[in-house]
Structure formats: structure tokens, C-alpha cells
Chain A
Amino acid sequence: MDTTKIIDSRGAACPGPITDLARAYRNSKVGDILELWATDKGVRADTQAWATKTGNEILDVKEDPEKIVVKIKINKR
């Protein structure tokens, strides 16, 4: 079964949520779903650029008053 891993980067401004995502990527496998939680507004553009570069897929981006949630599917490792 595919696993969903939550990466809680709320509050991280520097180096920021992309650090946690890149770290989780290293420890992930094809089929994994990563859910990145962040407050840093830059997370939308950064995860999009990251997904394009690495060949992975952004499934969904949601924003609520406390956080931005980016759901990513690992297609390539």
C-alpha cells in the first residue's frame, strides 16, 4: 500500500519547507504520497518548480487559515 507521509514545516522560514521536502524525497520511494504543511508563502512556487525538476507530481494544494498543504506523489526516485 502507498504511504502518506506528513511533513510539518509550519513556522519554517529559512531554509524553509523545501529543505524538509528535499529531505523527505531522499528517504522516499516510488508511489509514496508526501503531504507538506507550511506557512511560508513561497511553498507553492517552490514545490511546483521542484516537482517539474524532479519529475514528481503535485496532486493538490489547499490553503486554510493555519497552513498551506501541498500533496505530492513520488513518481521518480
Chain B
Amino acid sequence: MTMKKVLIIGGGGGGLILANHLDTNEYDVTVVDKSDQHFYQPWFLYVAFKGSKRKISKPIGELIKPGVNFVKDEISTINLDEKKAYGSRKGIYDYDYIAIATGTVPDPDVIPGLRQVYEEYGDYHTNVWNSEKLWSHVSKFKGGTIAIGQASPTCKCPPSLLEGAFLLEEHLRKVGLKDKTRIVFFTPFPRAYPAEPMNKVVEPMVRERGIEVMPFFDVDTIDVQNKTITSLEGDSLKYDLPIVVPPCRGTKIKIIPETVQDEDRFIKADKKYMKIAGYDDAFAIGDCNTLPTSKTGVTAHLEAMAVSEIIQGRYAEFNGRINCPFDTAYGKATFVIADYNNPVAPYPPTRVKHMMKMTMARIYWMTLMGTADPIFEQFFKFTRPEKLNKKYATSE
């Protein structure tokens, strides 16, 4: 009997976890990625604001288990009706099951002026080279106004935006520039952190550290000559150093039928089984899909685990669990925890949680291989959002 072919597009967190959880004695598994390197994206923050030189990439070939095939190729078209994917370099791939896990694509061209800012200053979200570029500006900064934030609401890892502002403030204080600097954190949301319960936890820190917040600030244009950012809501902000995370979109891949993608090219998939609307053999995992949850490595991980079960004929569903580590600087961190049925818990920052975040960075490669699954299971069990919500319920 011929083995069923599983084709995985994207060797990021979602794609690799799926590949490493499939039984290669039963399935012919192929991962296709346009790059042969996998990056640990959460570390972009520490490159951009601490000048970290830690190596944060590994060859994808070293991160897949024996028996899984890896091909370096960029997929340009996927035809879900014909069950074929077309690569720009190596040709045509057919499949019995396909999982698209292509992450997001930064799109600095939708906002006038942003391309120039992005190319000159970099950012802390899109790739390691842009983070290095930003560090070169941050480390040379002498004082003035720093405008920092996300250009539009769709962004991966919601805590990382404010983490950037916290780490920036810590750096400026350390080098004695705090008094000469105004940090303005702009956000399209109503407050510093979008989910209210977590905002209650972090807002006092934002205030205490003198970080100004401009809420409801969705970037419309950047006037590079006059160093001014203007929002859709009609406010403007003058800067000396702009740190603007560009909007992100779904995949550049042309998918047939095109109705499976929304206007920003994210792939419509159902929120429990990650099945692409109308197909039983096609899944969208992680940042590239439209699930009503945060775009994070942990969600990509949990979605991939569920999809691996579904492909292998067992029942599984994704419950919307998010678990985003949130570095509040000065050696403390918290986690943003919720799921489809439970709101974000007001989980306070501690040193232990910061250690957990740093440990995660060390064992990340193991989590891709599946060897850290038992640790995760325990952690998720002890930090269920309904439990935390009870424990840390505020008095109102």
C-alpha cells in the first residue's frame, strides 16, 4: 500500500511541530520552506534592545526527525481542488493532506512613508537583520522623542509590542538617557495592552516608568521630512527615532480557490480543527490563518498538535489556548493566558516567570522536536485560565 502524502508548507514552529508529530512509518511527510534556516523570533526583541548576539537560527534539516523530507523551495500557488502545490524552483508537489503554515508577511508599503522608515531604522519584529539595524540606532541614540508601536492592529505576539517599550526604557535608564528621552508608545487599541485584565497588571508599570501611551493610534501616514506620524483617528506624533512595526498580512501564495483567503490574505480556517473552509484534506496552521486568537508560537504549536492527531485519524481540537510570555523588563515577566471560553487572567509578573521565559528560549529547539511535550502538558494543566482567573480575580 502506498503511504499517504502529507505536504507541509513552511518550516516555522507550526510546520515543524506537525512534521515531527506524524508517524513516518505511516505517512510520507515533506516540509517545504523557502529558507533552509529556522529562526527563534522571540529573541528579535533582545537583539533590538539589548544588542544580543546569541545565535537564534538553526538549519531546518537539523530540526526534523529522521524520515521527514525537507525541500528548500518557495511555493507560489496551491490548488486545493487539484491537490497540487507549485514551487518556484523545484516544480510540482502533490498530496493527500496539505498543511499551510507560512506565517505572516510584513507589508510596509501600505502606509505612505513607512517603507523608508522601515529600511532606515529596521524594527523589532520582522527579522534578525532588522533587529540588528534597530539596535544600531538605539545604541547610538542621544536623547529626544522615541515613537514606538505597531502600525496596524494585525500583529503577531500581542505582548511583544509593549515588551519592546519596556526593554527600551530599561536600556535608556541603564545608559543614563532616561531624563533626556520621551518614550511614546502608540497603539491602535484603547489602552497600552489590548486585553483589559492584563492591562490592569501592566499599566501601573507603564506609568511608573514614564512611558507615555497614545491609544487609538492606527498609523495612516508617516511624513519622513517633518518626522511626524499621523493616525487614521486624526492624531499626530513627532519623533526623533521612529520604531514602527509594520502591518502584517497572510501569505503571498496564490491559493485556488481564492475565496479561502480574507482581504489581508489570511487563510480562513475553522477555529477548532484548522480545516480550510470547504476542505477536509487541507489545514492552515499558526500565524497564516484567521483563527480568533493571538498569533503566537504557542498557538501555532497547539494547533499543529491537534492537526497531527486529526490527520492520523484521532479526535482532537484546539481550544484557543494562548500562553504568551510577557517580559516586563528589570528581570520580571508574566504570561498572557486565556482560551476561547475564558478571558485573559490578570496574572502578575514575577522573577520566576522571567526565568521560565528565558528557559523557554533555551529549550525551544526541543519543543520543536516534541521532546518537551510532557513539560508543556504539566505547565498547561497548572495554568488553566479558569483556574488563574479564580485565583487572581480582582475585587470588582
* Known contacts A14-B294, A53-B216, A19 near B153 by CB under 8 Å: yes
- Determine whether the beta carbon of B233 is less than 8 Å from that of A53: yes
* Known contacts A13-B322, A14-B336, A46 near B190 by CB under 8 Å: yes
Chain A positions 41-65 with a Cβ under 8 Å from a chain B Cβ: 41-42, 46, 49-50, 53-54
Chain A positions 11-63 with a Cβ under 8 Å from a chain B Cβ: 11-16, 18-20, 22-23, 25-27, 40-42, 46, 49-50, 53-54
Q: Nearest Cβ in chain B — how far from A43, in angstroms?
A: 10
- Determine whether the beta carbon of A22 is less than 8 Å from that of B292: no
- Determine whether the beta carbon of A14 is less than 8 Å from that of B322: yes
Partner pick for A26 among B152, B216, B293, B320, CB 8 A cutoff: B152
CB neighbours of B338 from chain A (8 A): 13-14
Closest 7 CB pairs of A and B: A12-B292, A15-B194, A13-B338, A11-B340, A22-B153, A14-B195, A19-B153
A67 at interface, CB cutoff 8 A? no
B154 at interface, CB cutoff 8 A? yes
B188 at interface, CB cutoff 8 A? yes
* 25 cross-chain CB contacts under 8 A: A11-B320, A12-B292, A13-B320, A13-B338, A13-B344, A14-B294, A14-B344, A15-B153, A15-B294, A16-B194, A16-B195, A18-B190, A19-B153, A19-B188, A22-B188, A22-B189, A22-B218, A23-B154, A27-B263, A42-B195, A42-B196, A42-B343, A53-B216, A54-B216, A54-B233
Residue of B nearest to A10 (CB): B292
B232 at interface, CB cutoff 8 A? yes
Docked pose: A8 CA to B338 CA in angstroms: 18
Q: Nearest Cβ in chain B — how far from A30, in angstroms?
A: 13
Partner pick for A41 among B263, B336, B343, CB 8 A cutoff: B343
CB neighbours of A54 from chain B (8 A): 216, 232-233
Chain B positions 252-271 with a Cβ under 8 Å from a chain A Cβ: 263-264, 271
Interface of A with B (CB < 8 Å)?
8-16, 18-20, 22-23, 25-27, 40-42, 46, 49-50, 53-54
* Known contacts A23-B152, A26-B152, A15 near B216 by CB under 8 Å: no
Docked pose: A12 CA to B295 CA in angstroms: 12
CB neighbours of A20 from chain B (8 A): 153, 292
CB neighbours of A53 from chain B (8 A): 215-216, 233
Q: Nearest Cβ in chain A — how far from B163, in angstroms?
A: 14
The number of A-B residue pairs with CB atoms under 8 Å apart is 82
Docked pose: A70 CA to B198 CA in angstroms: 23
- Determine whether the beta carbon of A15 is less than 8 Å from that of B189: yes
- Determine whether the beta carbon of B198 is less than 8 Å from that of A19: no
Docked pose: A54 CA to B189 CA in angstroms: 12
B94 at interface, CB cutoff 8 A? no
Q: Nearest Cβ in chain A — how far from B189, in angstroms?
A: 6
Q: Nearest Cβ in chain B — how far from A42, in angstroms?
A: 5
Q: Nearest Cβ in chain A — how far from B383, in angstroms?
A: 15
Residue of A nearest to B271 (CB): A11
B339 at interface, CB cutoff 8 A? yes
B116 at interface, CB cutoff 8 A? no
Docked pose: A46 CA to B320 CA in angstroms: 22
B164 at interface, CB cutoff 8 A? no
- Determine whether the beta carbon of B292 is less than 8 Å from that of A49: no
Docked pose: A41 CA to B343 CA in angstroms: 9
Residue in B190, B196, B232, B339 with the greatest tally of chain A CB atoms within 10 Å: B190
Docked pose: A69 CA to B197 CA in angstroms: 22
Interface string of B292-327 (1 = CB under 8 A from A): 111000000000000000000000000010101000
